[in-house]
């Protein structure tokens, strides 16, 4: 979970790096120095947003609530019982195919501690060949058994046995299962007690205040969707901290290689080739990511946000709430610098988002769209082209 969190921090864009429209010409830019570089910071107060584009629907609010409750769900491991049609099962499996009259294991055919959702017929969230998940039904925790299945005729994967490539399509396969446990997940209900327990730091104590809080969060994020990208473009970096830019570049490259090494990525060059990206494009992306961080810290500096105090006062609560572990525990796994940089950045983003949204210039209606006027001839031509394309 924290790795995903870290990836967000490395991009340094957060919830703010979103497509948008809006304007900000209330005052001239000011030059602000940060540890990551110097930027001519455009005015971030008085940005324009639109009421219709900022409204939060009841379904959006309910979806956010359901998602939050699911994050607080607790999973219980059950060591006894039978696999039912709605069970979640933890199991090991080993697959074998027949080659020259002998059953042999094959690449990707075995795994430990896999989780099957019987109702969805998936394993670790992915579909399997017909019969693989159903084979678990009716068996008990502790059972070990073998089931003969068959790969589909359309199966495209191959395997290597004794240096020989073998097609798996339409081939019989024997899977040996070992059922280790069942899982039961309980999702909490939205009550005053839930709010008091999980939203102390936000000062919430009732379902009503919780819903107002969630609605505000959704609205503020919608506002940022409207204004941030255009505002970000108005901020001009005059100087990058070269040491940090180099360090950041190496961190991103290391993460990419670790994530895609199984696909033959050995360095950033092989990754760029696979993505069809030029080095110039890649360097621009790196600079834009660092620019996001420069702009974020520059606004924090202008707002006189005490970053160290913010991290000290709210960092632990943020880490526990979002990632299930306190700062000390995360530090053991990811290192002090990484954890501090990541949590601190998330906290600052929220603070400056609130500043921007609380000083927004809200206009009625929706944001205007630019659309070239069409003549009758142009409309006719477009219709004919579409019809021809449809026929084709």
Question: What pLDDT score does 1 carry?
Answer: 40
- Under 8 Å between Cβ of 240 and 287: yes
pLDDT of residue 25: 43
Instruction: Locate 105 and state its tokens.
Output: 């294991």
Tokens of 162: 């004794």
The stretch 138-160 carries a mean pLDDT of 95
Confidence of residue 371 (pLDDT cuts 50, 70, 90): low
Give the tens place of pLDDT for each residue, 341-350: 999 999 999 9
- DSSP per-residue letters across 208-245: HHHHHHHHHHHHHHHHHHHHHHHHHHH-EEEEE-HHHH
Helix axes of 279-302 and 207-234: crossing angle, nearest 10 degrees: 120
d(CA 261, CA 257): 5
Cα angle 322-257-249, degrees, rounded to a multiple of 5: 75
Helix axes 307-323, 336-358, angle to 10 degrees: 100
Q: Which two tokens stand for residue 256?
A: 């990419």
Residue 110: predicted pLDDT: 95
pLDDT of residue 27: 52
pLDDT for the residue numbered 322: 86
Question: Does the pLDDT of residue 160 top 70, yes or no?
Answer: yes
Residue 41 predicted with pLDDT over 80: yes
What angle do the packed helices 327-334 and 307-323 form, to 10 degrees?
90
Rounded to whole angstroms, the Cα distance separating 379 from 296 reads: 46
For the cut 70, the answer to whether the pLDDT of residue 364 exceeds it is: yes
pLDDT level of residue 13 (50, 70, 90 thresholds): very low
What is Dmax (Cα atoms) for the chain?
81
Provide mean pLDDT across the span 255-282: 91
- The pLDDT, as a whole number, for residue 6 is 42
Nearest in space to 86 (alpha carbons), one of 121, 112, 115, 114: 121
> Measured in whole angstroms, how far is the alpha carbon of residue 187 from the centre of its chain?
21
- Describe the chain by its helix, strand, coil percentages, rounded to 5: 50, 25, 30
Angle between helices 279-302 and 336-358 (to 10 degrees): 70
Give per-residue pLDDT as tens, 50-104. 999 999 999 999 999 999 999 999 999 999 999 999 999 999 999 999 998 999 9
What pLDDT was estimated at residue 10? 39
Enumerate domains of the chain plus CATH numbers: 2-72+190-363 (no CATH), 76-186 (3.10.50.40)
Least confident of 71-75, 135-139, 292-296: 71-75
What does the mean pLDDT of the chain come to? 87
User: Please, which residues bridge with residue 38 across strands?
Assistant: 33, 239
- pLDDT recorded at residue 249: 94
Nearest to 79 by CA among 142, 145, 144: 142
Backbone dihedral angles phi then psi of residue 141, each to the nearest 5 degrees:
-60, 130
Whether residue 382 has pLDDT greater than 90: no
CB 223 within 8 A of CB 231: no
Q: Who has greater pLDDT, 249 or 29?
A: 249
Model pLDDT, residue 5: 41
Counting beta carbons within 10 angstroms of the beta carbon of residue 61, is it exposed (0 to 12), middle (13 to 18) or buried (19 or more)?
middle
From CA 322, how far away is CA 189, in angstroms rounded?
19
Q: Which two tokens stand for residue 218?
A: 């959704």
The percentage of the chain sitting over the pLDDT mark of 70, rounded to a whole number, equals 87
DSSP state of 14: G
């Amino acid at each position: 979970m924290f790795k995903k969190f870290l990836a967000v921090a490395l991009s340094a864009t957060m919830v703010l790096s979103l497509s948008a429209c809006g304007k900000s010409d209330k005052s001239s830019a000011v030059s602000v120095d940060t540890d990551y570089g110097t930027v001519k910071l455009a005015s971030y107060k008085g940005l324009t947003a639109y009421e219709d584009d900022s409204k939060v629907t009841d379904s959006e609010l309910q979806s956010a609530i359901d998602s939050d409750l699911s994050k607080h769900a607790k999973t219980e491991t059950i060591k006894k019982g039978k696999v039912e049609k709605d069970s979640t099962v933890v199991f090991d499996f080993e697959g074998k195919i027949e080659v020259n009259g002998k059953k042999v294991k094959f690449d990707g055919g075995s795994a430990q501690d896999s989780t099957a959702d019987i109702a969805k017929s998936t394993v670790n969230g992915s579909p399997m060949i017909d019969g693989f998940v159903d084979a678990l039904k009716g068996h008990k925790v502790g059972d070990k058994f073998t089931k003969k299945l068959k790969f589909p005729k359309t199966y495209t994967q191959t395997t290597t046995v004794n240096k020989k490539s073998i097609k798996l399509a339409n081939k019989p396969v024997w899977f040996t299962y070992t059922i280790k446990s069942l899982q039961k997940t309980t999702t909490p209900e939205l009550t005053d007690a839930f709010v008091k327990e999980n939203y102390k730091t936000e000062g919430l104590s009732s379902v009503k205040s919780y819903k107002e809080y969630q609605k505000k969060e959704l609205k503020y994020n919608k506002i940022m969707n409207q204004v941030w990208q255009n505002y970000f473009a108005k901020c001009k970096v005059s100087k990058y901290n070269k040491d940090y830019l180099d360090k950041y570049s190496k961190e991103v490259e290391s993460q990419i290689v670790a994530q895609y090494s199984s696909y033959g990525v050995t360095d950033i060059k092989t990754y760029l080739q696979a993505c069809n990206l030029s080095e110039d494009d890649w360097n621009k992306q790196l600079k834009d990511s660092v620019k996001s961080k420069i702009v974020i810290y520059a606004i924090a500096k202008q707002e006189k946000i005490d970053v160290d105090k913010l991290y000290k006062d709210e960092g632990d609560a943020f880490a526990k709430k979002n990632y299930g572990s306190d700062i000390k525990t995360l530090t053991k796994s990811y290192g002090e610098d990484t954890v501090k940089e990541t949590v601190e950045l998330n906290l600052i983003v929220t603070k400056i988002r609130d500043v921007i949204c609380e000083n927004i210039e809200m206009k009625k209606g929706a944001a205007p769209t630019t659309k070239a006027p069409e003549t009758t001839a142009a409309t006719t031509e477009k219709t004919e082209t579409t019809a021809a394309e449809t026929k084709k």
